[in-house]
Amino acid sequence: MTTPSMIKSLGSQEPAGSAAGVETFAALFDRYSGMLCRYASRRLGPEVAEDLVGETFLVAFARRESYDPAHGDVRPWLFGILTKLVSRHHRTEAARYRALLRSPVDGAVESPADSVVTDVTAEGARSALIEALAVLPRRDRDVLLLIAWSDLSYEEVAQALGIPIGTVRSRLNRARRKVRAALGETNPMDEEA
């Protein structure tokens, strides 16, 4: 298991290509690459995700001296690096949202009852949700998606993005308000609507 102190210990005392450094980052890659890839794939598509995850670990290895072991879990640090790399691909992300809007909804509706249920679920609000995400400012979208898709806590998002926790809360609140407004002030996950 890779610990934050192991990453920090890879600092200046070991050459960049040392066996211990490679082994530590191999363990780090094995542990976190799947969740990073899922997040990047949702944001930009699978075509770009694997490359960005690889680049994330290259950046992490190069910046391993800057990691503060007091932060504990390295997951927010890695998601922070990845989110910065994703932001460089904002045109790709915008194009992905446009493509999702044009693509048909997966799965056929089998009965009128299924159709009603679909209309009150997230699938029924898909277009409005995609449009709402597409028009959110990048910094608000980053916070919302790190919490929703990466299962990071507010503290971890603050660490990942290098912003105060109060800023995370305000950006998340603003993003949620805008998404709710785009969905007609309803929660598509509430089946009782």
Q: What is the mean pLDDT of residues 173-189?
A: 80
Would the pLDDT of 95 be above 50?
A: yes
Would the pLDDT of 28 be above 60?
A: yes
pLDDT of 99 reads 72
Phi and psi for 107 in degrees, rounded to 5? 90, 135
pLDDT per residue over 42-94, tens digit each?
888 888 899 999 999 999 988 888 888 887 889 999 999 999 998 887 766 66
Would the pLDDT of 25 be above 70?
A: yes
pLDDT of 125 reads 65
Q: How confident is the model at residue 116 (pLDDT cuts 50, 70, 90)?
A: very low
Q: What is the mean pLDDT of residues 4-22?
A: 49
pLDDT of 30 reads 92
pLDDT of 17 reads 46
- Of 21-25, 111-115, 189-193, the range with the highest mean pLDDT is 21-25
Q: How confident is the model at residue 170 (pLDDT cuts 50, 70, 90)?
A: very high
Spatial CA neighbour of 7 closest among 82, 47, 62, 51? 62
Q: Which long-range contacts (CB under 8 A, 24 or more apart) does 155-158 make?
A: 156/73, 156/75, 156/76, 156/79, 157/76
pLDDT of 71 reads 79
pLDDT of 26 reads 86
pLDDT of 123 reads 57
% of the chain with per-residue pLDDT over 90: 36
